[in-house]
Structure 1
Amino acid sequence: MKPRVLLSWSSGKDSAWALHDLRRRGDVEVVGLVTTLNEAFGRVAMHGVRAELVQAQADAAGLPLWPVPLPWPCSNDEYETRMRALVEKARAEGVTAFAFGDLFLADIRAYREQQLAGTGITPLFPIWGTAPDTPALARTMIGAGFRATLTCVDPKRLSPAFAGREFDSALLADLPADVDPCGENGEFHTFCHSGPIFDRAIPVRVGDVVERDGFCFADLLPKEARS
């Protein structure tokens, strides 16, 4: 019997690529997608993506969504309390590992390992590499058929004009040299709406672009919806 694994799901391309990698390897069974949701706004924490679109991703991936509602504002203590409750639920359901789509930030990896230490849940980092790997990784994602839209941009690192753009070869060519092609340093975040992990695309359109809490967010809506 394969180990049962949960995957941390931000709704972005790196999470999607991690799911793709885990399924290709075939040595574990991904049994759910864990997403932190802002209770006040019904959106993915940091990415700003509507909860209904994340549910559509989970449905298209054929996996249950494990939402973790977070208050707004949310202290680190409260975040860790709610994540501990998730881990306890996971253990009760036979989950033995928790996978993350982190690419190369050592402090983030160390934090995740610390939080899972002694819980009986093993942290996995299936797409872990180094900063020099990300230009090729970004091109590989696009070449494999993954399609994503930039939903959040840090204007201190990247022009707000990038909010709402597609993550494609043209975008990679336009990125400043000091911006990581995968946005791993927080320059931008994405919503993955198509790719080989899904049995159908999630059609979206870009609504309003707003600045909030020092970030620029492009509001993605289901394509048939009206803003």
Structure 2
Amino acid sequence: MKVFCSFSGGKDSMLALYYGLEKYKKVDYLFTMLSEDCIHSRAHGLPKNLLEKQAQSIGIRLITKCSSWKEYEDNFLGFLEEYVKGGVGIFGDIDLQEHLDWVENVCSKKDVEVFEPLWLKKRKDVVSEFLSLGFKAKIVAVKKDLGIEKYLGKDLTFDLADEFEKIGVDACGENGEFHTFVYDGPIFKHPVDFRVKGTVQKERNIVLELE
């Protein structure tokens, strides 16, 4: 039975992967959907080469596909058919029902069992578990017009999560307020080496350009 983790490179998918490794004792693949450019991740805009560095440090093979949002489901089904039909998928959803419904619907078409270890946990508890386990993550994108640009490039910490809550920003960023890049933790053999080149203005977010 093959096991994969839907992998963004951020804190939620990394924590879900951690619990998946605990439960199944192995994960065969990390799967990331890339944008049409085949260079950046579809979800968080992380460069493919840094996702590969994460996978190498963790010791799990990374599989990627390039896709528009319109073709996303078909390409996801293609991955399931080729690699994990009849297996298990690990996902890092917390409490957004439409995300869970999509995952369960798509995975059922290829007889893939869904494991959602973070489901219905309190958002602040997800951040606390992630940090308590020793993971390290950098904030690499923030939503425009929230006044939180100053947090771009900072490491996620307990104090920062508290500060977010005080200013009305979800501590987990589950509403898209911010995204993270995980560069070290208990399932890493070594920290991921990277540097910040600058910032890029996107339609909705301000994003760190990493390499």
TM-score normalised by L of structure 1? 0.85
Q: Give the corresponding residue for 1:81.
A: 74
1:194 aligns with 2:184: yes
Distance 1:113 1:56 in 2: 29
* 1:103-122 to 2 correspondences below 5 Å: 103-122=94-113
What amino acid is the match of 1:128?
Answer: W
Choose which of 159, 162, 170 in structure 1 pairs with 2:159: 170
Distance 1:134 1:214 in 2: 23
* 1:13-24 to 2 correspondences below 5 Å: 13-24=11-22
1:24 is paired with a residue whose SS is helix
Q: Deviation at 1:42?
A: 0.5
Distance 1:171 1:157 in 2: 15
Distance 2:88 2:54 in 1: 21
Residues 11-32 of structure 1, C-alpha deviations (whole Å, 9 max, x = no match)? 001111111112223x353111
Distance 1:140 1:31 in 2: 24
1:20 is paired with a residue whose SS is helix
- Over 3 Å counting, the alpha-carbon distance change for 1:158 and 1:143 in structure 2 is farther
- Over 3 Å counting, the alpha-carbon distance change for 1:169 and 1:219 in structure 2 is same
TM-score normalised by L of structure 2? 0.91
Distance 2:104 2:88 in 1: 11
What number of residue pairs does the alignment pair up? Answer: 210
Distance 1:40 1:54 in 2: 15
- Over 3 Å counting, the alpha-carbon distance change for 1:125 and 1:211 in structure 2 is same
- Over 3 Å counting, the alpha-carbon distance change for 1:158 and 1:111 in structure 2 is farther
Unaligned runs of 5+ in 2: none
Q: Give the corresponding residue for 1:90.
A: 83
1:46 aligns with 2:43: yes
Unaligned runs of 5+ in 1: 222-227
Q: Deviation at 1:124?
A: 1.6
1:199 is paired with a residue whose SS is coil
Q: Give the corresponding residue for 1:33.
A: 30
Distance 1:39 1:75 in 2: 9
1:16 and 1:197 in contact (8 A); partners too: no
1:61 and 1:198 in contact (8 A); partners too: yes
Distance 1:158 1:176 in 2: 14
Distance 2:60 2:39 in 1: 20
1:44 is paired with a residue whose SS is coil
- Over 3 Å counting, the alpha-carbon distance change for 1:156 and 1:41 in structure 2 is farther
1:43 is paired with a residue whose SS is coil
Q: Give the corresponding residue for 1:62.
A: 59
1:57 is paired with a residue whose SS is helix
Structure with the higher strand share, 1 or 2: 1
